[in-house]
Structure 1
C-alpha cells in the first residue's frame, strides 16, 4: 500500500516536471526558431530510457489512446478558432487537398518506400498512408499568431483539420489488407464514404445541440461552461465512433459550428480550450518522445533512409499533390509553393505508426522509427522556415491585433448577464461617435476600452476609434440587439458596396 502511494506521488511529480519543461520550451522555441512541438518531443526523448532514464515507457497502446484524446481536444480548439467567413471560400480546395492530395502524396511516397526500405508493396503503401496527411496539431501550433494571408492560412487549417480521417481510414484499411487478405477493397471504399457521411451528419447535429445547450442551460458557475463545451467534443467523437463514423471529422465540424455561433461565456470557453489544447499537445508530444528510443532511431540506416524519404515527401510528393489538387482553383505559383512547403507532419503520423505495432504487422518497428524520423525532419526543416518563406514570397497579411488586456467575470451565477468583447473595424457605424450617442440596449454598459494596447476608462464623451476593443456588460436576452448594433456598417461603406 505504502509503495503504491510512493509510486503515485512519483508520477504526479514527474507530470509536474514534464508540464513545466513543456511550457518553458515554448518560450525558447520562438527565440531559436524551432517549433515548440519539436522541443516537446525532445523533452520526452531526454527523459526516456536511452538518455536520462528517468521514465521507462514503451506502451504503444497507452500512447495511442492519449494521442487520440489529445487530437480530439486540439481539433476542437482549432475548429472553434476557424471563422466561417474565412473558411467558406476555401472549402473546395481544402477538401481536394484533404482527399486527392492525401492519396497522391501517399502513392508517390509508397513507391519510394518500396525501394528505399526494401519492403512489400502493401507495407510501402501503409507507410505512405501514415505520412500522407498534413498534421492539424503541427499546423495549428505553427500558424497560431502568424500574419499569413487569411486565404492561405485558412486553406492549410481546413485541410489539416479535415484530412486526418482520410489518413486514419487508409492506415486501418491497409492493416486489414495485410493481416486479413480476404478483405474486399470495394467494401472498404463503401466503408470510407459511410464513415465520412456519418462524421459530417453527426458533427452538424451535435454541434447545433452543443450551441443550444450552452445558451439554454443556466449553470451555477461560469467555470462550468468551458467544461461543458469540452464534454461535447468528447461526446461527439464517442457517439460518432460508436456509429462507425469519423469521430475526428465530426469533432472538427462541431467545433466550427460552436465557434461561429453566439454562445454564452464565449471568451471563457475559448481561453479554456486554448489552455487545454496546449496541455494536451505537451502531453502528447512528450509521450510520443518517450515512446521512441534514440539508440534505435539515430542509426546510420534509419538516418539515410529517413533523409531520402523526407526529401521525396517534402520536395516531390507534396508539391505534385498540391499542384494537381488545386489545379484551376486560382492559386498563384507562390501560393502553391507555400502550400507545398507548409504540409507539416506531426503527431498524427506518429500515432498512426502505433497502429501497425499493435497489429503486429511485419516490419512495424522499422516503419515506426522511419515515420518518427520523417516527422522530426518535417518539423525542424519546414516548421522553422514557414514564416520566413511567407515573408520572402510576399504572402504576409495585415498584422493580427490581439488585446493584451482581457476582462473576465469570475462567476455571474444565475444573474443572466455576460461580458461581451468586440473589436470595432474601420467601416463600423459606431466609429467617430461618443458613447452617449450610441443607442445601446437598456442596461448595457461599456466597462472598458482597449486602444493600442492601453486601457481606456470610458465616459459618455469617449469617442470610438477604429480598432478599439469594447468590453460590454449586458443581459443575455439583449445579445442579438447588441450584436446588430455593433456590426452595423457606416453609410459610406454601404454606398460603396452598392455601387
Structure 2
C-alpha cells in the first residue's frame, strides 16, 4: 500500500526529531552530525525505496544555498580579509590539484576511463561548508585557521561544480572546445563574484529600508533574497553558489535591521535543511552496493586524506605565511560532505556508464572522511598546539521582539575602550526621548540602567531607538574624539 500524505508527514516529523537528537549526540562525540543523518537515511531506505536522483539534486542545491547563506552571514569580513589570498588559492588551485591527483589514482583503482577518473576527482575535491561549519563551530582553533577553512569551504564549491560539469560535457561530447570551457570558468567566477557583491548591497538596502509588519518577515525576506541571488546568477550562467556566499558575507557584515532575528531563523532553517538533505542522500544508497566497493572506497579515502588533499594544500599555499603545522591541520580539516554526494548525482542524471559506481564510491569516501577526520579534528588541533582552549560562549542574549508597524528597533552596541563617554552616567549624557537604554552588560552581568548608572568602555548596551536615528546613535556612543563634552546635541539635529 502506497504511503498517504498523512503517513509521509508523520515520517518527516519523526526523521526531524531523530535528527535533532542525533545532532546532540554527535556534538558530544565530536563527530559531524551528517554521519548520523546519512545513517538514519540508509536505515529508512531499507524500508522505503527511493531512487530519484533529480529530486535529490534539486533539494540538495536548495539546502546548499541555505547552508552557504547561514555560514556567510556569520563570517567576519575583517577576519576573512586577512586570509583571502590563501583561501582563494585553496578554493581554485587546491581543488584543481586534488582533482588531478585523485583522478589519476581513481583511474587505476576503479578501472574507469581517464575522464571518468578525473570526474571522480572533481566530485570529491571540494570541502563541504556544512561539515566544516558544524565541526569548527564547536572548536576554538586559531582565528586565522578558522577563517581560512570557512572561507575555503564556502568558496570552493563553484570550482568543483565547474570541473564536474565540464568533464561530463567532455565525456558526452569529446570534441567540445577546451577554450570555451576555460572562458566559461572565468565568466562563472567573475560574474558570480560581481553579482554577489552587487546583490548583497541591494539586499542590505532592501532589508533596512522596507517597513514590514513583523520582525519574522525580515528573516523570510533575507532568505528569499539569497535564493533570488542564486536564481539570477544561474540564469546568466554565472556561479550561483559563489554569488550566494559573497552576498551572505556582505549582508552579514552590514548594519542590519533585526539582525539577531534573521541570523537565528536562518540557523534553525539551515539545520532542518541539512537534516533532511543528508537523510535524503542516505536514501539513495543501498548498503549492499557499498559492500561491493568497500576496499576500493577505503583505499581511495586514505589516498585522498593522506596524499591528494595534503599535496593540494601544500602546493597551493606554497608561498603563504603558514607554518607546516598549520598547513597539516588545514589539510586534515578539509572535510567532505553534502557537496560531493550532490555532485555525484550529476553523472547519474547525465546517464553515464559508470555513474552508479562513482556515486557509491563518492558516498563511501564522504562517510569515511566525515567519520574519521571529523572525529579527530579537535585532538589534532591540540596535538599541534593550534587549539586555544575552550571556546568562549556568549553568556547573555536578548531576544528581539516584533515592534509591529512602529519605526523603532532594538540595537546592540559595544562601547570602545577609550570612548569619550566612558565613566559618564546616563543622566549626564542627556539623551533625547526617542533613545532608551534598556540593558547594560558588564563583565557577564546584566545591569538595570538608571539615571545614575555609569557606563564604561567595554560595556554592551541594548538601546531602543528610532530606525532613522540609528546611525547617529551608533556614531555618538562609539565616538572617540578625545572630547567628553555634551555630544548629545548631535542626536537632536
- Equivalent residue for 2:40? 43
Go from structure 1 to structure 2 and tell me whether the alpha carbon gap of 1:486 and 1:22 turns closer, same or farther (over 3 Å shift).
farther
The answer as to 2:28 corresponding to 1:31 is yes
Render the CA deviation track for 1:123-168: whole Å, top value 9, x for unaligned.
Answer: 0000000000111111111111422211111111111111100000
Summarize the alignment of residues 68-467 of structure 1 with structure 2, pairs less than 5 Å apart.
Answer: 68-297=61-290, 299=291, 301-397=292-388, 400-424=391-415, 426=417, 432-438=423-429, 443-451=434-442, 453-464=444-455
134-143 or 92-101, larger mean C-alpha shift: 134-143
Say if 1:370 and 1:256 are closer, same or farther in 2 by CA, change over 3 A. same
Q: Is the 8 A contact 1:427 1:490 kept in 2?
A: no
Rounded Cα–Cα distance in structure 1 between residues aligned with 2:139 and 2:481 = 30
Alignment of 1:59 onto 2:52: yes
CA offset at residue 31 of structure 1?
1.7
User: For 1:164 and 1:281, how far apart are their aligned partners in 2?
Assistant: 16
Q: Deviations over 1:366-419 (max 9, x none)?
A: 111110111011111111111222222222347654434432343212211111
Contact 2:203–2:251 under 8 Å retained in 1: yes
Contact persistence 1:63–1:287 (CA under 8 A):
yes
Q: Secondary structure at the match of 2:344?
A: helix
Q: TM-score, normalised by structure 2?
A: 0.93
1:300-339 deviations in whole A, cap 9, x for unaligned?
x421111111111111111111111111211111111111
Evaluate the alpha carbon distance shift between residue 295 and residue 434 of structure 1 in structure 2; reply closer, same or farther with a 3 A threshold: farther
Cα distance in 2 between the residues matched to 1:200 and 1:393? 35
SS in 1 for 2:254: coil
Contact 1:440 1:482 in 2 (8 A): no
Q: Does the Cα contact within 8 Å between 2:258 and 2:400 map onto a contact in 1?
A: no
Change (3 A) 1:440 1:338: farther
- In structure 1, the residue matched to 2:488 is none
Unpaired segments of 5 or more residues in structure 1? 492-499
Once the two structures are TM-superposed, the CA of residue 469 in structure 1 deviates from its matched residue by 3.6
In 1, Cα distance between equivalents of 2:68 and 2:189: 16
CA distance in 2, matches of 1:200, 1:132: 21
Give 1:29 deviation, angstroms.
Answer: 0.9
Matched, 1:8 2:5: yes
Aligned-partner Cα distance in 1 for 2:460–2:68: 27
Shift in CA distance, 182/14, structure 1 to aligned 2, threshold 3 Å: same
> What SS does the corresponding residue of 2:463 show, helix, strand or coil?
strand
Once residues 418 and 362 of structure 2 are traced to their aligned partners in structure 1, the CA distance between those partners, rounded to angstroms, is: 49
Structure 2 gap segments, 5+ residues each: 483-493
Which secondary structure state, in structure 1, belongs to the residue aligned with residue 312 of structure 2?
Answer: helix
SS of residue in 2 equivalent to 1:334: helix
* Separation in 1, partners of 2:425, 2:307: 58
Q: TM-score, normalised by structure 1?
A: 0.92
Aligned length: 483
